[in-house]
Amino acid sequence: MPPKISVIVWNEFQHERENAAVRAIYPDGLHATIADALRRNPALEVGTATLEQPEHGLSEERLAGCDVLLWWGHKAHDQVSDAVVERVQRRVLEGMGLIVLHSGHFSKIFRRLMGTHCSLKWREADEKERIWVVEPSHPIAAGLGEYFELPYEEMYGERFDIPKPDTTVFISWFEGGEVFRSGCCWERGHGHVFYFRPGHEAYPTYHDANVQRVLDNAVQWAAPRVNMPDRCPMSPALETLSPKTLNFAKVGIAQNQEDIE
């Protein structure tokens, strides 16, 4: 029996505490809703972590054992400590998977891995989103049809300031007239990164069966194949050619002979 994929669902967990409408949808936090759905897959071992916990629930030890981290944040990106962000980045580059959700496009960790602003257009107006599957043979699209719909979502519109995705799995249509690359895959170091757009806190998106399927697929896709810490080694030569004399005269530059090492 192969070992379970170890998953952490990280959530800011502020909106739920401050806003009754959001709490009504996610009584224990959206991380609990996402985690409960993922736990239906017996191959996954799922925990959660939130901003206000010590080290935001992401200690060195906990992250060392984490295969895939999901991240939801919105109004408190700046409160995430740089030390934890660097730790998460290092783990991704070693092989840990990362799934960034919705407003997490502006999280420190996503912007750090992308190198761009990650800006976009937006509008909160209870609009329908239709998520088209552009790559139906991609693992993240398994079990979905040609598209699925969310009756109410916050619009995100192009231009999404991201590096070109390695693969664009989903493109969304919004009733107000916009489009958006809503499912994007990259590799950073040995880690897989997946950005998935839906998930405005005021809508029950994470209760949606298709959304839950996407997250389950994405966790399996993002699970690490290797765990390789960073190295920048001096490496001895593998081949020997004829002996060399360092001779700048040969390349046309005059110099002070006694200075040459």
Task: Decide if 226 contacts 190 (C-beta within 8 A).
Answer: yes
Separation between Cα atoms, residue 244 and residue 135, nearest integer Å:
53
Could you tell me the two tokens for 114? 């992308």
- Check the CA dihedral 221-224-226-230 and report its sign: positive
Q: Does 151 bind its own copies (CB under 8 A)?
A: yes
- 57 or 189: whose CB is closer to its own copies? 189
Q: Does 260 bind its own copies (CB under 8 A)?
A: yes
Q: Does 226 bind its own copies (CB under 8 A)?
A: yes
Ramachandran class of 100: left when φ > 0, alpha when ψ lies in -120 to 50, beta otherwise: beta
Within positions 73 to 102, which residues make up the interface with its own copies, using CB under 8 A? 89, 93, 95
The number of angstroms, rounded, from the C-alpha of 226 to the middle of its chain's C-alpha atoms is: 17
Q: Does 155 bind its own copies (CB under 8 A)?
A: yes
Q: Does 172 bind its own copies (CB under 8 A)?
A: yes
Cβ neighbours of residue 212 closer than 8 Å, sequence gap 6 or more: 34, 37, 38, 206
Of 207, 203, 178, 183, nearest to 193 by C-alpha is: 183
- Choose one: 3-11, 51-59, 68-76, 157-165; the region binding its own copies (CB under 8 A): 157-165
Q: Does 235 bind its own copies (CB under 8 A)?
A: yes
Q: Does 121 bind its own copies (CB under 8 A)?
A: yes
Q: Does 62 bind its own copies (CB under 8 A)?
A: no
Could you tell me the two tokens for 128? 């329908």
Q: Does 1 bind its own copies (CB under 8 A)?
A: no
Cβ neighbours of residue 235 closer than 8 Å, sequence gap 6 or more: none
**Near its own copies by CB under 8 A: residue from 132, 210, 213, 220:** 132
Separation between Cα atoms, residue 140 and residue 100, nearest integer Å:
14
Q: Does 67 bind its own copies (CB under 8 A)?
A: no
- Choose one: 4-12, 42-50, 63-71, 169-177; the region binding its own copies (CB under 8 A): 169-177
**Near its own copies by CB under 8 A: residue from 3, 20, 54, 145:** 20
Residue 167 beta carbon to its own copies: minimum distance, rounded to whole angstroms: 7
Q: Does 143 bind its own copies (CB under 8 A)?
A: no
Of 121, 56, 63, 51, nearest to 92 by C-alpha is: 63
- 69 or 114: whose CB is closer to its own copies? 114
How many binding residues for its own copies (CB under 8 A)? 95
Helix (H) or strand (E) holding 125: strand 121-133
- 53 or 151: whose CB is closer to its own copies? 151
